[in-house]
């Protein structure tokens, strides 16, 4: 069965500093990997996704992530954090369902706080 580990429950960074959020996954086949962001009381917004090809993927809001198969990791990065980036970030792996489609398995999330 697939699983996702986000080792950092909370991270605090200063505005303008760089950011890296860690994600490790477990999946038997080539994974579909995602990062979503959730603001308080809101649904999930897709930041970026990896299916195949270039292992460095660009997303919205200046975020990028790098897929490293050898480390089973898909870490999220941003060179300069803005106060509006404060939110909870979820890493997810997509697994194919019997009969088609796929389901997402999420990590427990990383809460990002940005200090001004």
Partner 1 sequence: DAGVTQSPTHLIKTRGQQVTLRCSPKSGHDTVSWYQQALGQGPQFIFQYYEEEERQRGNFPDRFSGHQFPNYSSELNVNALLLGDSALYLCASSSRRTVETQYFGPGTRLLVL
Q: How far is CA 71 from CA 23, 37, 51, 64, 115, in A?
A: 10, 23, 17, 17, 31
- By CB under 8 A, is residue 51 in contact with partner 1? yes
| Span interacting with partner 1, options 14-22, 34-42, 65-73, 77-85, rule CB under 8 A | 34-42
Of 16-24, 54-62, 70-78, 100-108, the segment contacting partner 1 by CB under 8 A is: 100-108
Residue 35 makes contact with partner 1 by CB under 8 A:
no
- Toward partner 1, which CB reaches closer, 14 or 55? 55
Cα–Cα dist 86/46, whole Å: 15
CA atoms within 13 A on the CB side of 101: 5
């Amino acid at each position: 069965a697939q699983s996702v580990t986000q080792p950092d429950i909370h991270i605090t960074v200063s505005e303008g500093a760089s950011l890296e959020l860690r994600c490790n996954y477990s999946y038997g086949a080539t994974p579909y990997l995602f990062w979503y962001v959730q603001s308080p009381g809101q649904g999930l917004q897709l930041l970026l996704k990896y299916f195949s090809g270039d292992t460095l993927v660009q997303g919205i809001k200046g975020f990028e992530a790098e897929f490293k198969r050898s480390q089973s990791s898909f870490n999220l990065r941003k060179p300069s954090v803005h106060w509006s980036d404060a939110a909870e970030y979820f890493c997810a792996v997509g697994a194919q369902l019997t009969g088609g489609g796929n389901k997402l398995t999420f990590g427990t999330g990383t809460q990002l706080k940005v200090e001004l």
